[in-house]
Structure 1
Amino acid sequence: MALRGHVDRLSRRQVIGWARDEAAPDSTVALVVVVDGRAVGRCLADRPRDDLVAAGEGHGRHGFDFAFPDGALPALARCTVSVRRDGDGAVVPGSPLVLDPITTFDADLRGRLSLALAEPVDAAERARRLAFLMEEVQRLRQAAADEPGATRDSDTRPRALVIDATLPATTRDAGSNAILSQVRSLQRLGYAVTFAPVDMVGDAETLEAHGVRCCLSPWYATVEEVLRRHAGAFALVYLHRVDTAGRYAQLVRDTQRHARLVYGVADLHHLRTARQAEVEGRADLAAYADHLRFLELHAARASDAVITHSTYEAEILGAHIPRERVHVVPWAVDPRPTAVPFAARRGLAFVGGYGHRPNLDAALFLIESVVPELTARGAGAELPCLLAGSVMPERLRELAAVRPGVEPVGWVPDLALLFDRVRLSVAPLAYGAGVKGKVLDSLAAGVPCVCTPAAAEGLDLPEPLAGLVADTPAGLAQAILALHEDEALNRACAAAGLAYIVSMNGEGRVDARMQAAAGALR
C-alpha cells in the first residue's frame, strides 16, 4: 500500500510531518519513530492541518508531531531518524534524516536553552543558573584566547602586544597614523602583532585584514585579562601614551617576564601642557604639567626602550635616561604629490582636529592675527583661506563667516582633495609637542607649509623649508605671500618637501629605527 506524506521538521525536541494511506485515505496512519534502527516511540498521524486541505489531501487530519522522550537521542553523536508506518515499516517520504550532535550550537539548541532559562524559578535556582552560565562564558573566552593563531605553539614568529587607549583609525589623528605605521613595521620585522585597546571596543576589520589580531569585548573584559591569559606569551609589549604605560607597565613586568617593554610617548604631554600654561598664564596648568612630567619620566625609566617621533623630545628624554634607550622612530608617510598645476590652485589651508586645543587656538590666531596682516598687505579676499578638520566649533564657523576669504570647510575625507585646491598650507601653532602630522601630510602632497617654531619643532627641516618658519603674524604673512605669488619658490619648496618625506619618512627608515627600539628578535 502506497504511503504519502513528508517529514517536515526534525529537531532534538520533536519530529513533525504528515502521512496518508492512499489505499484508505480517510483512515488514520499509525507510525513508529526509529533512531539508529531502534524504535523509540509511536504516534498517530491524526492532527488537522489546513495546508493539507488546501493541497487536496482529503479532510487534512493527517499531521503528526512526535516529542522525543528523554534519552531517546544520543547527545554527543550524530544519529539517523526515520519515521515508518507501523506494521509494514513503509518509510514516510522525507526520512530518514540525520541529526547532528548536541555540540552543534544550532537554532534548535538555542531555542531549548532560551526556554529553559525563561522558566520561572526561585532566587537560589536563578543564582545556580547564573553561576553555570558565567562559568561557561569564561570557558568560551579562554578557548578564544587559546585558539590557533593566538598561541606560540601555532606560530613560530615572536609575538608583540601593542596597547593603546583605543583602536587606531587613519582618519582620526596623527597618533593613530603613527601607531598603525609602527604596527606594520613590527610585522615587517617578523613579529606576529596583537592589539589590545584599553576600552576593549572598536572596528577591528582594517587591522585584522592586515594580519593583526585584536583583543576585544566580549572575549576579553580588560587589558589586564589579556596580559594574564597570555602570561609569558609576548616577546615585546608596546605601551602607547603615558596613561597606558602608567596603568600597565608593572603588570607587563609581572606577566611577561621575558618581554622587551617599549614605551611610545606619542608626544611629551607635559611639554605641551607647560607651554599652554605659559601662553594662558595658568598656574593650575603649570602644576598639572609638573605632574605629567613626573609620570612620563617615570614611565620612560621603567621601560627598556622609549620611542619618540621628535628629535627635540629625544634630547629632553636623553637628559633623564640613558641616551641609548631613546629612539627617534618616524611614521611612514607616502608621497602623494598633487597633479594640479600651480596656476590652477589658489589660497592656503589650515588642517587640524579642533577637539585638540592647540589646533583650535592656532585657527583662531590665523583668523584674528594672520589674515588681517595679509589683508593689510593687499591680499584680502583674493587669497582664500580654507579651514579643514573635524569637530569644528560653532564659534569658529561664525568668526570665519565674517572674515573675507575665510572658508570653514570642516572634515575632509581625503586631504588630497584639499591640497589639490591650494598653493600652500599653514600651521601657526602657538604651543604643542611632538611631530605635527599636518606638516608631514602637506609636504607629502607637494604643498609647502608655513610654520611657527612650535609646528616645525623636532622635524629638523632643511633649507629652503626652514626659511618658511616664522613666529609673528607679520613674518607668517610675508612667508605666505612669497610662497603664494612666487611659483619658482613654491616649486623649490615643494620639491624639498617631497625629498624630505622620502628621506625621513620612508618605510625603510621606519623599520631601521624600529628594529633598534625593538632589539634583537626573541
Structure 2
Amino acid sequence: MSSSKQPLLIIVGYVWPEPNSSAAGYRMLSLIQLFIAKGWQVIFASAAELSPHRFMLSTIGVGEHLISLNDSSFDQWISEQAPDAVIFDRFMLEEQFGWRVEQACPAALRILDMEDCHALREARQSSFQRGVAVDAQALNSALAVREVAAIYRCDLTFVISEYEMQLLQQHYAVPAMLLCYCPFLLSDTQPGTSPDFNQRQHFITIGNFRHAPNWHAVLWLQQDIWPKIRHKLPDAELHIYGAYPPPKATALHNTRQGFLIKGWAADVADVMQQARVCLAPLAFGAGLKGKLLDAMRFGTPSVTTDIGAEGMATQNGWPGMIANNSEAIAEAAVALYQQPECWQLAQQLGYTTLDARFSLTTHETRIWQQLSSIKQGLAEHRQHNFTGLMLKHHAFRSTKFMGQWIEAKTRLAALTQPD
C-alpha cells in the first residue's frame, strides 16, 4: 500500500473520538495510530458537534474537518483530497456517505469499522426485555439487514470480537474475505506499577451513561446487586463513573448506602487503580468492553457476566469472576474483595490476557497484510463480491436520490424563508 506520496486515510466519524468516555473512542484512536505508524496521513471528518471530552487529534498530527449531512460539498471536498482509503465509523455512516465516496473517489479502499455488531446488541436487548432467548428472528432484524448490507458494500470490515466474526460468517453467511478481526490494539501490554490489594479499597463501575447496557447495569446494581454486597461489606462504597450522567442517574447518588455517582472520569487510570474490584454486570450488549480492558490494564480484578467477558477471556479463565445473576454476582464480588491470594492471581491473569489477546504486535502484521492484499488487487476483490456489487447498484441509488432530495429540500426552504 505504498506510493510516491504519503498515503491518505480519511475517517468519516459518527462522533469525535472520546477515548476517556467510551471504548469506541479508545478503539478509534488506536486505529488512527495504527495508520500513522505505517506512514499514513490521517484526516478525521465528522458532522457531529465538537464534544467537550473529545481527544485533540491535532496533537498527534491528524487533520480535522467538519462535514455536513446530505450536502454535495462533501463530494467536492473528498474528491479534492483523493484519499487512498476511507473508513466509515459504523454502518450508518456508510449508508450516508458510501455512495458519495464511491462516486467521488472510486479507487479508494472502503473500510467499515463496526465498533460492535449493532444487530447483535439490539437482538440481545430486545430479547432480554421480552424475557426470551435470542433467536434467528431477533438476529434477522431490519437493523441487521442494513448493517450486513453495509458490510457487503465495503471492501473490508473491521470486526472487534471473535464471537462476532463467527456470527457474521455462520449466521449471516458473510464471506471471510470481507472481514478482518481487529480487537483492541495495545502498543504496551507490560504491567506497570500498580497499587496492591491492601492499598486499594471500594468497588468501581464505569461506562458512558448514554449506552443502554451501561445504564441497565447501573440500575441492576442499585436495585439488587449492591444491597447484597453492602449487607456483607457495610463499609464498602461503589464509585460509579461515566460520561454524560443524566438527572435520572445523578438522582441515584446515595452517600448513606455508599452508592456514589461520580460522573466523568478525567483519568481512568487514577480511579481504576484506587478500586479493589471492578463490577460490570452486563445483561446484554456486544463487542468488547472497554471498562474491562481498563480493569486489566490497571491491575483491577473484575466481576462480570458471560456477555461482559465475551471475546476477551482466554483458555486460562477470567481475571476475576464470571456470574450471571444477582446473588452469584454479589457473592463473587464479596469473595474477590476479601481474598488477597485470589485477587492477586486474578490481577496477574489480567496482565497475561492483555498480552495474549490485545497486543498490537500480535495483530498488526496480519491486519496490514490483509489491507495491503486487498488494496493491491482491489478490482478483482470487488468482482468476487457480487452480492456487494448488487447491493451497491440498488442501495446507492436509493440513498443517493434520498440524499439529493433532502439537500434540494433544504436549499428550497432556505430560499423561501422570509427575511
Partner residue, 1:306: 157
1:360-399 equivalences under 5 Å are: 360-376=215-231, 378-379=232-233, 381-399=234-252
State whether residues 20 and 265 of structure 2, in contact with CA within 8 Å, keep that contact through their aligned partners in structure 1. Answer: no
Q: Distance in 1 between matches of 2:50 and 2:225?
A: 42
Taking a change above 3 Å as real, the CA distance of residues 414 and 510 of structure 1, as seen in their structure-2 partners, is farther
Alignment partner, residue 357 of structure 1: 212
What letter matches 2:109 in structure 1?
A: R
- SS of the equivalent of 1:391 reads coil
Contact kept, 8 Å, 2:10 with 2:86, in 1: the verdict is: yes
What are the ranges of 5 or more consecutive residues in structure 2 without an aligned counterpart?
377-419
Distance 2:123 2:21 in 1: 25
Q: Which has the higher contact order (CA 8 A, sep 6+)?
A: 2
Retained in 2: the 8 A contact 1:444–1:498?
yes
Secondary structure of 2:95's counterpart equals helix
Q: Deviations over 1:127-177 (max 9, x none)?
A: xxxxxxxxxxxxxxxxxxxxxxxxx99x71222221112321322311111
Q: Which runs of 5+ in 1 are unaligned?
A: 1-151
CA change 1:209–1:314 in 2 (3 A) is same
Q: Does 1:212 align with 2:70?
A: no
Partner residue in 1 for 2:325: 472
Aligned partners of 1:362, 1:350: CA distance in 2, in Å?
9
* Aligned mates of 1:360, 1:208 — CA distance in 2: 32
1:298-351: per-residue Cα shift (whole Å, max 9, x none)? 011111111111111111112321113211112234556453221121121110
| TM-score, scaled relative to structure 2 | 0.79
Of the three residues 317, 320, 332, the one matched with 2:185 is 332
Provide the residue aligned with 1:162 in structure 2.
Answer: 11
Contact 2:89 2:113 in 1 (8 A): yes
Counterpart of 1:443 in structure 2 is: 296
Residue pairs, 1:413-452, within 5 angstroms:
413-452=266-305
**Does the 8 Å CA contact 1:450/1:469 hold for their aligned counterparts?**
yes
**1:97-496 superposed matches below 5 A:** 156-199=5-48, 206-216=56-66, 222-230=73-81, 233-281=82-130, 290-319=141-170, 320-333=173-186, 334-335=188-189, 337=192, 339-376=194-231, 378-379=232-233, 381-401=234-254, 404-465=257-318, 468-496=321-349
* Whole-angstrom distance in 2 between the partners of 1:361 and 1:249: 34
Distance 2:257 2:23 in 1: 30
* 8 Å CA contact retained: 1:201, 1:217: no
For 1:206 and 1:464, locate their aligned partners in 2 and report how far apart those are by CA, in whole Å. Answer: 37
Deviations, residues 217-249 of structure 1 (Å, cap 9, x unaligned): 69x98543432333xx22221111011111122
Shift of residue 189 of structure 1? 2.3
Which protein shows a greater Rg? 1
Is the CA contact 1:442–1:448 (under 8 Å) kept in the aligned structure 2?
A: yes
When structure 1 is superposed on structure 2, of 357-366 and 286-295 the one drifting more is 286-295
Q: Give secondary structure in 1 for the equivalent of 2:112.
A: strand
**Residue type of the alignment partner of 2:306:** P
- Other-structure match for 1:506: 359
Measure the CA separation in 1 of the matches of 2:239 and 2:91.
34
In structure 2, the residue corresponding to 1:190 is in which secondary structure? Answer: coil
TM-score, normalising length: structure 1: 0.64
Q: What corresponds to 1:138 in structure 2?
A: none
Give how far 1:487 is off: 0.8
Give yes or no for contact 1:262–1:303 (8 Å, CA) kept in 2: yes
2:374 pairs with 1:497: no
- Aligned mates of 1:478, 1:337 — CA distance in 2: 29
Distance apart, 1:282 and its partner CA? 9.8
1:213 Cα deviation from its structure 2 partner: 2.4
Moved over 4 A (4+): 200-205, 286-289, 334-338
Q: Among the aligned pairs, what percent are the same residue? A: 23
Number of residues paired by the alignment?
Answer: 363
Tell me, in whole angstroms, the C-alpha distance in 2 between the residues paired with 1:217 and 1:257.
20
Q: Would the aligned equivalents of 1:273 and 1:289 in 2 still touch at CA under 8 Å?
A: no
Which of 330-339 and 451-460 deviates more? 330-339
Alpha-carbon RMSD: 2.9
Q: Contact 1:238 / 1:264 at 8 angstroms: preserved in 2?
A: yes
> Does the 8 Å CA contact 1:338/1:446 hold for their aligned counterparts?
no
Task: Select between 433-442 and 274-283 the one with higher mean Cα deviation.
Answer: 274-283
d(CA) in 2 for partners of 1:427 and 1:205?
25
Contact 2:319–2:348 at 8 Å: present in 1 too?
Answer: no
Tell me, what secondary structure is at the counterpart of 2:205?
Answer: strand
**2-side partners of 1:506 and 1:222: how far apart?**
40
Displacement, 1:211? 2.3
Secondary structure of the structure 1 residue equivalent to 2:251:
helix
Separation in structure 1 between the aligned mates of residue 317 and residue 34 of structure 2, nearest angstrom: 31
Cα distance between partner residues in 2 of 1:493 and 1:287: 36
- Give, in angstroms, the shift of residue 495 of structure 1: 0.9
